[in-house]
Structure 1
Amino acid sequence: MAGIRLARLPNRTPVKLTIAILPELATALDAYAAHYAETYGETVSVNELVPAMLEAFLEGDRSFKKARSPR
């Protein structure tokens, strides 16, 4: 459609990622989920939190963002 203001939406199909983590990290993630629930009054699973945590980590890494930016 010519003249449409909204750009084509990016691919939003989720990609499943399976990882193995050490028990200490699993415990820490569970504790983080509990802290999140205390802070916001909303219980969220670790599976829901990890993608947001990774996204926030990547967004906050200035060196990574600089390396990805077109030159």
Structure 2
Amino acid sequence: MTRISLADIADEKPVKLTVEMPAKLHRDLQAYCVALSQGAAAIPSPERVIPAMIERFIASDRSYARQRRKPPRS
């Protein structure tokens, strides 16, 4: 894995991204949002669910966590 250097990103303002994905993945994501709501009146939009999914994925990636714990190389 290459060294990741993002220390310069200081502000926490939301960043708008445009992402292309296959139509099947989008349909699966919409179905996931429906299942996530479990009968609630409001179904979350994919735009609201995707950031949480990515955060959870990064937090659960063990090899990435090991890489982050290593001291930086000079």
- Shorter-chain TM-score range: 0.7 to 0.9
> What amino acid maps onto 1:33 in structure 2?
C
Tell me, what secondary structure is at the counterpart of 2:33?
A: helix
Higher relative contact order, structure no. (Cα contacts within 8 Å, ≥ 6 residues apart):
2
Higher helix share: 1
Aligned residue for 1:60?
A: 60
Post-superposition shift, 1:55?
Answer: 0.4
User: How far apart, in 2, do the equivalents of 1:64 and 1:25 lie?
Assistant: 25
> What amino acid maps onto 2:24 in structure 1?
E
Post-superposition shift, 1:69?
Answer: 2.4
1:1-71 to structure 2, matched below 5 A, reads 11-38=11-38, 41=40, 42-71=42-71
Post-superposition shift, 1:70?
Answer: 4.2
Bigger radius of gyration, 1 or 2?
1
Deviations 1:8-60 (A, max 9, x none): xx621111111100011001100100001117x34211100000000000000
Q: Cα RMSD between the aligned structures?
A: 1.6
Tell me, what secondary structure is at the counterpart of 2:21?
A: coil
TM-score scaled by structure 1?
A: 0.75
- For structure 2, list consecutive stretches of 5 or more residues without a partner in the other structure: 1-9
Superposed structure 1 runs of 4+ greater than 4 Å apart: none
% identical aligned pairs: 31
TM-score scaled by structure 2?
A: 0.73
